[in-house]
Every structure is written in C-alpha cells, then in structure tokens.
Structure 1
Amino acid sequence: MELMNNVADSGVSEIANYYAGKTILITGATGFMGKVLVEKLLRSCSDLSAIYLLIRTKKGVEPTVRKEQYFKCVIFSKLLEKNPDIVNKVRVVKGDVLEPDLGLDANDINTLASNVEIVFHCAANVRFDQPLRPMVNMNVLGTLKVLQLAEKMSNLQALVHVSTSYCQCNESVLEERAYPAPQNPFDIIEMVATMDDAGLAEITPKLLNGLPNTYAYSKALSEDLICRYHKKLPVIVTRPSIVTAAIHEPMPGWIEGVNGPTGLMIGAARGVIRSMHCNPDFASTVIPVDKAINGMILCGYQRGKASAESKASKQNQVEFCNLCISSKALMSWGESIETGRKFFYETPLSFALWYPGGSIKRNYYHHLFCVIFFHYLPAYFIDFWLLLFGQKPFLVNVQRKISTGLKLLQYYTTKDWDFRNEKFQELSNTLNATDQELFDTSVSQVNWETYISNYIRGMRTYILGESDATLPYAKIVLRRLYILDWVSKILLFTLTFWFLWTHLDGFVEKSDAFIRASLYSIYSEHNSTVHT
C-alpha cells in the first residue's frame, strides 16, 4: 500500500470526503468493535450514503427489531442527541455468517453487489476455549463467504478484514506482511465438514502445532485464505492487539464484554482472583478500541485510494497493518496491575465476595500453590457453609471457570512479542491536521493512569451497571471486607500458632523417640555384624 504524502491542512477532512457518498457493509456490527465502528462512521463521516449491517435473527428477535435495540445502546446517545435522523442511513440485511451465502436472499445479494464500495469484515468467534469446528465455520468459512460476496461487488474499493496480532504466536516478531498458514484453509474447511467431533478433537493438537488455541489457528487460516484472493479483491488485513476500553470516543472508559483484561479486572475486584501467572516486566500489549477503529477507517481510506491505481495497472496485492502500540509507549503488565489495584480501592464494587488482593506470580508453581490455597480452599470452605444453611453452592464452579480462563490467558502474559507497526504509525503521518485530530491513532500524549481509572469506572458502569451513586455504599462494603480479611488472617495465624504450640512438645518427644529407636536399631545391627 503506497501511502500518500500530502499533509497540507485545508481545514477539511479528507477522510470524511472520501467516505462521503459511499455505501458500506459491516459484518459483526453488534460486537464490541463493530458498535464503535458504526458510531464513529456515522459521527465523523456523516455524509456517507448508507451502512448495511449484516444481522441475524437472535432468540426469535428479528433483525429489524434488533436494530431498534441496537441504537438504544449508550454508545450512540451523544450521536443521536445531535443528529437523530442519522440512523436512517443504517440499513439492516437479514443474514448469518454461518449460513450458506451468508443467509442472504437473492434481492439482498443483488442490492449489496450493486451498491457496496467498502466492506468491514469484523464478524468473528473470539473465544479462546472453543473446539475446532465452530472456530473454522465462523472465522475461516465465514470469511470465505464474505470474499465470495465481495467478488460480486462491481464497485468495491476496499475490503478491511479484522484479524489479530496473535495470528502467528510462534513468531517472536510479527511483521506487516503475509505469513504461510499451518495448513491449506480449503482442506481444513472440508475436514471440518466431514469429520465427527471425536475425530476433530483428536487431530486438533497436531493441527495447532504449538499455537495456543483454535482462535489463533483460525485467524492464521483466514489470512491465508484472503491472500489467495489477492488478484481479485482490494483487501487490507488489520491486526489489532488486545482491544480494551475506549480512551476518548465515544466516551472515556466505554467497554463491552468480559473477554481478556476486563474479565480479570472484574474477578480481581470481586476478590475471587488472588493470583495470576504473568511476567510483570513484559509490555501489556493493549490498544484502546477507539484507536483501533480509527486505524481501521484509515486503512479503508488508504486501501480504497490505492485500489484505483491497482486497477489501472491490473495489479492487486493484499496489504497488512498491525494495529498495535509500540511496547516502549505501553505500561508493563506489572505497572498496569498495580495501577489498577490503586483505583480498585478508590472505585470498589458494591458486590464483592472478598477484599481485593493477591498479586501476579512469575513462577508457575508459586502461582499454582496460591490457586490451591487462595482460590480453591476458600471456595470449598464457603460452599460447605452454604450447604449447611441450605443454600446452593456456587463458588467452586466459579473458581473452575476462572482457572480455565487464567490458563488460556497466561500464554499471552508470560511471553513477549515484537509487533512491528510502521504502517500503522505512518497512517497518521500522511494526514492533514484536521484528520489527525478526527481520526487520532497516536498514544504519545496518553496518560495511562487516567486511562486505567476510566477503564475501571467504565467496567463498573457499562458492564456491571453500578453508577457513581453506589460508590459510598461500595466503600462501606470494602471497609467491612478489609476488616474481615484481617480478622481471618489473624485467626488463621492464631490457630496455626496454637496448634504448633500445643502439639510441639508431643511432636518433639515422638521425634526424639523415633530418632533414638532408629539409632539403636542401626547400632545393634552394626554390632551383630561385627560379632559375626
């Protein structure tokens, strides 16, 4: 992708001008990143012609009804206050990435093929604990269906595919280029379609070949699949790292879902996560969602501009852009967790099972010891008392889920990667001052402490539904848990000391008798041998 060098500022947004009059298709629009993308396009590129959202029927709710629910999300509140009619530019097409032809009927296919100029393919299964079949069907076969639809689009200028920086975990350095897939994606699609679950489960470890999970594997396959279309379609693959809460837009701290660091923060704030296996010196490879979305919009702009030249020269090439922040500009895992701990105490949760505490562990066996003694033993103790009082036990099951999640995440918190991001940095450098402000991707002025504070407040508000009005009560709860935590520690120490004190004399006497008996036995055996 050749980057433009004209950065003269006319006070006009070149990006908004490019998207003006354009028709856009977005898959995965109901997800975390999808919502931020839709909101940003409607707010900053409001002269676009239309946005088509591929939305499936869910739990009996039709896509048209889901659209009404969609725009009730708080993320759109400021936008709709200023421009309530902007939603008329959003059109829903009933479809499903898992269905043949994306679940589209013939009329919708013709409409999209005739009108769409830019595609953002965000739909993906992002869970780390899924078996191979759902991952391949969603992330690989689903991508193939999007590519096949894009082939029919007569006016297509850019297809922006969302991958991940962790698609090649075996590589310590991830450059902004294509990498060979572990296997042929078409072979894997056919294998998944023909093999039973038992056979797939047996062969999965061999297929992964060192990759940590089926998510990373499926993303590697989908990238290879896209590269096979390089002569047919103007595609750019974007690879965000760990996407976290918004830093500025549409509101500081906005977050949705409990994947990755967000789930860890909730568990720690509730007092049920006391230990985590992590190297505190490694960079926390996160990127705020609004920075990643701005990068995606810029990639669509740059790829669309470049595709005209590609068509003229009858050449096309898949481009890659790692949407990552340089490790030097990031906080380490240790710094992030300690900063988060400070703000947990300032903005605690109204409901917690124990006082927030614990720490990260470099050594796996140290972590395992703490999991047994500070996760499972208290869980069994509390569940035992719940049973005695006729209540349903739940904490052991919670800890099992937490342990599974920690095992999946520790792969990423105990390794260090070098994500090259020259193209991502250049995206901003090619823009005029207006666009650099509107579609900001830089983090040079970021105050990470403020960001984490807003992140935690956003977690309380947007995920757990706790407003700032609950803070006085939450602080009372925190003080009570603090006292209970110390009383428990003192009680445990006292009981341990009492047990050792009361049993020490007996233990010493028994040990002394045992040693004397052993020495006497050895001495007697030695004497009998000598006499013999």
Structure 2
Amino acid sequence: MAPSVPEFYKGKSILITGSTGFVGKALVEKLLRSCPEVDTIYLLLRPKKGLNSEERLRDLSANKIFENLREKTPDVFKKLKLVAGDILDNELGISPEDKIELQERCNIILHSAACVRFDLKLKDAIDMNTRGTLRVLELAESMKNLQVLVHLSTAYCRCYLDEMEEKLYPPAHKPRKIMDIVEWMDDDTLKYLEPKLIASEPNTYSYTKAITEDLIAEYGDKFPIAIARPSIVTSAWKEPIPGWVDNLNGATGLLIGGGKGVIRTMHCEPTYTVDAIAVDIVVNACLLIAYVTALDKPKKVTFYNVTLSRIIKITWGEIIKLGEKWVDKYPHTVALWHRGGTIKSYYWHHQICVFFYHIIPAYLVDGILFLMGRKTFLINVQKRISHGLGVLQYYTTKEWYFKNDNFKSLRTRVSKEDNEAFYTDLSNLNANEYLRDYILGARQFCCKEDPSTIPRARKLAKIRYVLDVVVQILFYGILAWIFYSNLHIITSSVHYLDDALKSLSPINKVNAEEFITYLSS
C-alpha cells in the first residue's frame, strides 16, 4: 500500500526556492498546515531592499497567509530553516555548512524561483530562469537522499502551438549555447539579436522557460524530475483564505486597474476562452506531483499541464462581465474615476480609445496639478499601464488548448481523504463566487482596504458615477456643438461637390452621387 500524502511527507526535508513569491508562500503554508510532521523546510532567501535574510524570513512568517497558523500552531514555524543564498550566485551563494547539510538531509526540491517579468532583458532572464535552474540542478545532483525535484514552469512556454501536450518539445536553441552567448556577448549586440533569438515566443520570460525545460531534461536519468506547467495563476479558491492574492501581476492588475477607473480600454477578443488556475490548485498539484513522481521513480522527466482546458470553459467576455458586477458591489475606496470602459476586439479601435480615455485625461489631470503646484503622476502611470497592456494583449487576443490528462489523473492516485485535503478537481468551481472572492481578496490584500470600508466606498462610487455621467454629457455636448457650429461648412462642401458633378462623365457621376449621398446621410 502506498503511503498517504501526509505520511509520505512525514520526516522529509524539503528545499523550496522562490518561497517569498506568490506560489512559494502558498507552498510553505500548505506544507506546514497539511503535512504537520514534515521535518524541515529549507528556504533559500537572499537579502533584499535593505533587509537581510533573517529579516526576510520574519517578514515572510508575518504574512497574512500564515495568520491561522500563527494563532493555532505557532510552534510549526520552527520547521522553517533559513538558507542564506541567491539563485543568481555561483553555487547559489550558500555557505559550505548549509551545502553539506542539504547534501546529507534534503529529500525533495520544489523549485519555484523565477522572474515573472515579461520585459526583462534576455541576459537577465537567462541568468535568473535558466542559469539559476542549472545551479539548482547541480546542487540536486550532489544530494545523497534526493527523491524528487519538481520544477515550476508555465503552460505558456510554447506559445506558437495551438494545442500543447504534456511532453518535452525541442527548444528553439540549446540552452547551454544561449547561456554561453549571453555570457560573452556585449549588450548592444545582444540587444540587436534578442528579437531574432526569441522569435518563437512573445517575450523573454516565455523563451527562457521553454529552453530551461530542455536543460532540465538532461538530468532526467539522474534523479526523478517532474515539471509542472500552470497557466495564469490567480487568487486562492478555497485555502488558506478564499480570494487571497498578494501581487498585481497579470489578471489581478487588470481587475484592480479597471476597478479603480485607471484602465478603461483593453485589446481583447471576448469570445476566446481564459485559462487561469487558482494558486491553491497549483500548490496542491505540485505536492501531489512530487508524491507520485517519488513513488514512480521515472527515468525521464514527466510533465503536468496544470490548466483549466477541458474542465471549465469561460470566456474573457464572461470574466469581464462578472468582474464588473462584483467591482460595482465592492468598489474601491480610493479610485481615480468611476469603473468603466470596455474590451475591444479590434486593435485600432482600442488605440483610439486609449487616446481619448487614457492619454487625454492623463495630460488634463497632470496639467491641472501642475498649475496648482502639485506633483504630477498620471502621465507616468498611464505610460506604465500602456506598456503592461501591450505585453498582456498577446495573451488576450489568442486562444490555446492544453492537454492535461496527467494533471487530471493526480486525483486518481490518492485516497478520498487525500483528495479532500489536496484537492485538484476544478469541475465544481463556481466562477461567479470565485470572482467575488477574487475582487474582495485583491481589494483587501493588494490594495490594503479593510472590508469595513465597503459602505463608505459605495457612497464614493455613487459620486464618481454621477461625475462620470456629467462629464460624458458635457463631452458629447461639446462635440455636438462643434458639429452644428460648422454645419454650414459641411453643407457648402456638399453643394460644391454637387455642382462639380455636371462636369463629370456618366460613370464618374454615379460614383460621385453615391459619395455625396453618403456625406449627406
């Protein structure tokens, strides 16, 4: 009989990279809560923003996601052990003592560290996502009791495919050759070559994730390895707190930007399906993937597309509609303007709306602030938003399907009790309730707006709505006034064209008459 999932993790020592990231925090919390007899969780942490590694560990433990653990089982945090280091440093920058301890005691590696910025320079993305993974693999190869390594990739690492299977695809370039190129090539030449090198993918993040999978495959016969490919990772569905999210990346940024009236247009095909996965599903899947891979001991890398495909189908249009519904019910206290705007199927329609709804208001507001002697900000905000939307619209104007039989089979490998504790079945997810919790979670955890402020926020939202209506009436009224003020010029132009018809040939005359009829209408 195979052990249960908690029994498997009992007494195990686990190394987690990227533990301060969105998925990393949730991984740590889930292990401490659902696998209480785990021996040690090593966290690779580097100094950041003036904080040393110990201070970052304290900050991590103080995060809202660990609130229930702090209240009920505070001693569980003793299982966390700091490993001071940096994935960007040679040999991960860890001390000889820590390296020896990991080589002797570590049983499982959950590698989630990565830079998720899509616009990172190729050299930096390679060093973080590819060379950083190589450093982890080299450490793993030296471990005496390693049972499994799980690498967190992305379902969007082969964007040229309409349908992606759970298998290894040949890379556009060999990862070791690319690592060598970015090491010696000067920045100007590399900048020139970058669009050609990553041509198969939309950005450096996707490109580096793609070639890194091939690098990992080199180690597939050395120890058990699995690669999890989640799609867009969104807020928690059930655990530890419904709606929990702690970053503004991707979909969360769109929800907040739209809710605060900052984003009023987006290039998106509303009929295309969305593939997004809740962070607690990703975490449960990673822990189950480690479990089954350690038991199966495969001789090559196995892949799991952690996606919604063929489980739930929901379109961008439906998501936007639900989001508007819940933003109206739970508005933001601090917002630039009333929630509004729409998604646009056509690029130029979107660009025209960007000019009228983003650029002109930004210059108008900043102009008023400048005249008042106040600090301007909105133009810079809109520039960042425009850049972000430009990156994201690649994913909102295309549609992908992911084969995910391996992912869906995870729940068949464990008992009913384990399925309840480490759930991966999304078939009963209610999109309406999930979007409600997502909006509330983004409001509370990202915008730091307490739920007690909702009544006041609703009053402010009504005021913003009235102002929005007044401004629209004035705007369209001015346009109508301009039109009617210049109506005599338009009429004179039509009469002039009418007189000119007399000198045209019969064929040209018919065409010109149609044109004048069009103008008159």
Matches for 1:321-332 after TM superposition, within 5 Å:
321-332=304-315
Q: Which stretch of structure 1 is more off in the superposition, 384-393 or 137-146?
A: 384-393
| 3-state SS of 1:25 partner | strand
- 1:271 and 1:424 map into 2 onto residues whose CA distance is 38
Structure 2 unaligned segments of length 5 or more: list them: 506-521
**1:31: which partner in 2?**
21
Aligned-pair distance for 1:499? 2.0
Aligned-pair distance for 1:372? 1.4
2:375 counterpart of 1:357: no
Match of 1:444 among 411, 414, 427: 427
Q: Which stretch of structure 1 is more off in the superposition, 382-391 or 218-227?
A: 382-391
Aligned-residue RMSD, C-alpha: 1.6
- 1:334 and 1:514 map into 2 onto residues whose CA distance is 45
Aligned-pair distance for 1:514? 7.2
Aligned-pair distance for 1:512? 3.5
**2:36: which partner in 1?**
46
Aligned AA for 1:96?
D
Matches for 1:93-104 after TM superposition, within 5 Å:
93-104=83-94
Aligned AA for 1:326?
S
Aligned-pair distance for 1:327? 4.3
2:383 counterpart of 1:400: yes
- 1:297 and 1:522 map into 2 onto residues whose CA distance is 79
- 2:8 and 2:479 map into 1 onto residues whose CA distance is 71
Aligned AA for 1:318?
V
Aligned AA for 2:352?
F
Match of 2:459 among 476, 479, 482: 476
Q: Which stretch of structure 1 is more off in the superposition, 422-431 or 489-498?
A: 489-498
Deviations 1:295-343 (A, max 9, x none): 0000000111112xx5xxxxx2111111112245132111011000000
**Number of residues paired by the alignment?**
505
Aligned-pair distance for 1:501? 2.0
- 1:384 and 1:61 map into 2 onto residues whose CA distance is 38
2:436 counterpart of 1:423: no
- 1:210 and 1:104 map into 2 onto residues whose CA distance is 35
| 3-state SS of 1:329 partner | coil
Aligned AA for 1:391?
R
Aligned AA for 2:382?
Q
Deviations 1:69-92 (A, max 9, x none): 111101001012221100111100
Match of 1:454 among 437, 448, 453: 437
**1:509: which partner in 2?**
492
Aligned-pair distance for 1:495? 1.6
- 1:450 and 1:519 map into 2 onto residues whose CA distance is 64
Q: Could you list the runs of 4 or more consecutive aligned residues of structure 1 that deviate by over 3 angstroms after TM superposition?
A: 509-516, 518-523
| 3-state SS of 1:354 partner | coil
| 3-state SS of 2:343 partner | strand
2:207 counterpart of 1:217: yes
Structure 1 unaligned segments of length 5 or more: list them: 1-5, 8-12, 311-315, 524-532
- 2:283 and 2:119 map into 1 onto residues whose CA distance is 26
**1:18: which partner in 2?**
8
Aligned-pair distance for 1:475? 1.0
Aligned-pair distance for 1:431? 1.3
2:247 counterpart of 1:264: no
Higher relative contact order structure (alpha carbons within 8 Å, sequence separation ≥ 6): 1
Aligned AA for 2:255?
M
- 1:357 and 1:490 map into 2 onto residues whose CA distance is 15
| 3-state SS of 2:486 partner | helix
Aligned AA for 1:317?
K
Aligned-pair distance for 1:261? 0.4
Deviations 1:499-518 (A, max 9, x none): 222221244236535765x5
Aligned AA for 2:424?
T
2:241 counterpart of 1:241: no
Aligned-pair distance for 1:104? 0.8
TM-score calculated relative to the size of structure 1: 0.92
Matches for 1:30-179 after TM superposition, within 5 Å:
30-179=20-169
| 3-state SS of 2:150 partner | strand
Deviations 1:431-468 (A, max 9, x none): 11100100000111111100000000000100100011
Asked if the contact 1:240–1:322 (Cα under 8 Å) also holds between the matched residues in 2, the reply is yes
| 3-state SS of 2:266 partner | strand
- 2:170 and 2:306 map into 1 onto residues whose CA distance is 20
Aligned-pair distance for 1:59? 2.5
2:222 counterpart of 1:228: no
- 2:351 and 2:126 map into 1 onto residues whose CA distance is 33
Q: Which stretch of structure 1 is more off in the superposition, 359-368 or 438-447?
A: 359-368
Aligned AA for 1:258?
L
TM-score calculated relative to the size of structure 2: 0.94
Asked if the contact 2:26–2:283 (Cα under 8 Å) also holds between the matched residues in 1, the reply is yes
* 1:446–1:520 distance in 2 versus 1, CA, 3 Å: closer
Asked if the contact 1:285–1:327 (Cα under 8 Å) also holds between the matched residues in 2, the reply is no
- 1:229 and 1:296 map into 2 onto residues whose CA distance is 19
Asked if the contact 2:311–2:427 (Cα under 8 Å) also holds between the matched residues in 1, the reply is no
**1:317: which partner in 2?**
300
Asked if the contact 2:150–2:290 (Cα under 8 Å) also holds between the matched residues in 1, the reply is yes
**1:337: which partner in 2?**
320
Aligned AA for 2:321?
E
| 3-state SS of 1:262 partner | helix
- 1:373 and 1:40 map into 2 onto residues whose CA distance is 46
Q: Which stretch of structure 1 is more off in the superposition, 201-210 or 457-466?
A: 201-210
Aligned-pair distance for 1:394? 1.7
- 1:513 and 1:155 map into 2 onto residues whose CA distance is 90
Asked if the contact 2:115–2:205 (Cα under 8 Å) also holds between the matched residues in 1, the reply is yes
Deviations 1:411-443 (A, max 9, x none): 111111111110111001221110010000011
Aligned-pair distance for 1:519? 6.6
